[in-house]
Chains A and B, each alone.
Chain A
Amino acid sequence: MSDDRIRTRRDFVKETSFGVAGMTLGLSAARDGINNPKRASKVVLVRHKDVMDEEGTIDRPIFEQMLDDAMTTLFDNDDAAACWSSLLEPTDTLGIKTNVYPPLPTPPELNEMLKERAMAVGIPEERISTLDRGVLRDPNFQNATALLNARPIRAHDWSGIGGCIKNFILFDQPAEWHDDSCADLGEIWNLPICKGKCRLNILVALTPLFHSIGPHRYAPDATWQYKGMFVSTDPVAVDALGVKLMEEMRKAFYERPPRGGTSTKHVGYADTRHGLGVANLDEIELIKIGWMEDVLI
């Protein structure tokens, strides 16, 4: 810890260019050595204008191509199959951690695509589970040697963002992790059931819920057909970008953008306290491919 003094809005105004996102991330450029020049995380943001229609129906072939292009870009390899083979092995037991929040679940198409790619690597179907609730009781998750993590981005009334980090909360008793706006969710990733096992994080941003209108509420008005997804091996980096994206959407959507926000400190703390990944936007290599209009970040 390089600096323990209390930091306020005034420090963020002086030291960072993150805006509200930087404040609510619990980050500061001077804190906890996060300006270490050796650190870097790579994230691919892929978008396509026609991946879904106005009603939200997904065009599966386009969605597939988005995933393939994200993978080839992320791993600097033109062969998408080779990218998957570099992530997974035929001997793996795989858990695909999804999210079933009814108004905004992980798209079933994505769950299927991930399973198909794992099977193409050579993992037999019986050693693959796709689950949200019930992971602690599932033999494949209990014995997993590899995890894939995929869920949509949404504003959350207590933790600020429901993203890739929080998606692992069901690897323990959720109520144990609620203190201080879920500040230490990153520590979950150090539990034996998941430590070091997650090979890929996909933060789905097809229709982000960018503003929370109350506890466990969903408002179609506060969604945006962004038609994208963030893909990375770093769950913290995709969530940090997700926080920034929600902030930019609120700025674009509201005549008077909010001056505060539900704390997303668990994203910053996943970096500074738990060493899970990189939350400092200046240290994230963001590669944007596809549809660029209103990309916002």
Chain B
Amino acid sequence: MWKPGAGSLYNRRMPAHPHRPPVSVSLSLLLIVLVSITSNLPACQTGGSAMDLADFIPETLETWTSSVDYPDIAYDHQTIFDYMNGAGEVYLSFDFRGMLVRRFEKPDQELTIEVYDMGNPADAFGIFARSRSGADIGIGQGSQQWAGQVNFWKDRYYVSVYTLRETEASNQDVLELAGAIAENITGVGQLPEILTMLPSEDLVEETIRYFHLHTDLNRWYFISDDNILGLDPSTEAVMANYESGEEYRYLLVVRYPDRERAGEVFTSFLDIYLPEADRDGAVEIEDGLWSAADASGAYVFAVFDAQSAGSARALLAAIKASIEGAEQ
């Protein structure tokens, strides 16, 4: 039973430092026997699609055993919330079709594989790019390793392999297993076409984000809680950073279903966000940080955080030339 204590412990100032545990990745070899066969899905809820996803995952791993407590489970639009609660909405903001979860275990260790059918390669890239932050590690069509997990995309699939107890050995297992799954996915997907519009000079590759909704836009650069760019599932948007010296510009490009809608949105956006600007004018909206916007055809594009009006206009001109070149 708790008894009330007396006095405070807070009489002295003590040093502190943030704790940032190191993440190390072992490159030592570990043999993993990979046998890719179709498995039974006792809790399968999406039929054939889940069976297809299971085809990609090895059923047995050397040194690991299939989890007895957690057999394969498939999730769909409705049931994804049973697996990850509100985070499921992130997948539903893309063309999510279904997912499969398989777990392996060994004493005091668990390894989880999630394979997501994102409906199309563009959205598989989109969900992958949403969380990437570092260099590609060469698995599938885009990949990263961080904190005991490997995420990659290939074809229309997004795959995550992870352990919660990170060790050198488990990191290596995760790495090799992800590689094996990528090999089993034989299709290759096309990157979203809108990405090809991005000017290459000063582009920071790993900052390229592809999305549809304004909630994602605000994740990368907050503009407004209101959806002033009219983003919805029918729109495609890409945001990327351009780094040059001390300058770190943001470029947003949105493609609308047709030029009429793009024109309406552009007019409205200028009116709400950059009313001082003429059609290609730049506006200093924070100290030393300039924004500018323009439109062409079905596209609206904007530059944020340029260090000068000229810099904002230069990037704007580059993306406009790229779009108009592609449309010719």
Chain A contact residues, CB within 8 Å of chain B: 6-10, 13, 20, 23-24, 26, 46, 48-50, 54, 62, 64-66, 68-69, 79-81, 102-103, 113, 116-117, 119-120, 156-159, 169, 174-175, 177-178, 180-182, 207, 212-227, 249, 252-253, 256, 258-263, 265, 289-294
Contact = CB atoms under 8 A, between A and B. Distances in A.
Given A23-B222, A294-B16, A102 B81 contact: no
Contact of A216 (B84, B217, B220, B248): B84
30 contacts: A6-B226, A6-B272, A7-B226, A8-B228, A9-B222, A9-B223, A23-B222, A24-B218, A24-B222, A62-B9, A64-B5, A81-B4, A102-B164, A116-B2, A180-B215, A213-B131, A215-B84, A217-B160, A224-B20, A227-B16, A260-B218, A261-B219, A263-B225, A265-B225, A289-B8, A289-B10, A291-B13, A293-B15, A294-B17, A294-B18
A156 B12 CA distance: 35
Given A8-B272, A261-B218, A293-B16, A13 B225 contact: no
B285 A9 contact: yes
Contact of A6 (B13, B17, B228): B228
Contacts of B85: 169, 174, 216
A48 B222 contact: no
Contacts of B87: 156-158, 215-216
A252 B17 CA distance: 11
Given A261-B219, A290-B10, 17 more contacts: A7-B226, A9-B285, A24-B218, A64-B2, A81-B4, A102-B164, A120-B2, A158-B89, A175-B88, A177-B86, A212-B131, A214-B160, A215-B88, A221-B21, A223-B19, A227-B16, A291-B13
Nearest to A114: B2
Nearest to B215: A181
B23 interface: yes
Contacts of A120: 1-4
B250 A225 contact: no
Main secondary structure on B side of the interface with A = mixed
Interface string B82-114: 011111111100000000000000000000000
B14 A214 contact: no
B64 interface: no
A7 B222 CA distance: 11
B200 interface: no
Nearest to A176: B81
Given A214-B151, A261-B218, A292-B13, A8 B224 contact: yes
For the side of the interface on B, what is the size category?
35 or more
Nearest to A79: B4
The 7 closest A-B pairs by CB, nearest first: A214-B131, A225-B19, A293-B16, A116-B2, A215-B87, A216-B84, A290-B10
A10 B131 CA distance: 27
B190 interface: no
Contacts of B222: 9, 20, 23-24, 259-261
Nearest to B130: A214
Nearest to B13: A292
A28 to B, nearest CB: 9
Contact of B19 (A50, A68, A207): A207
A103 B164 contact: yes
A213 B2 contact: no
B70 interface: no
A130 to B, nearest CB: 15
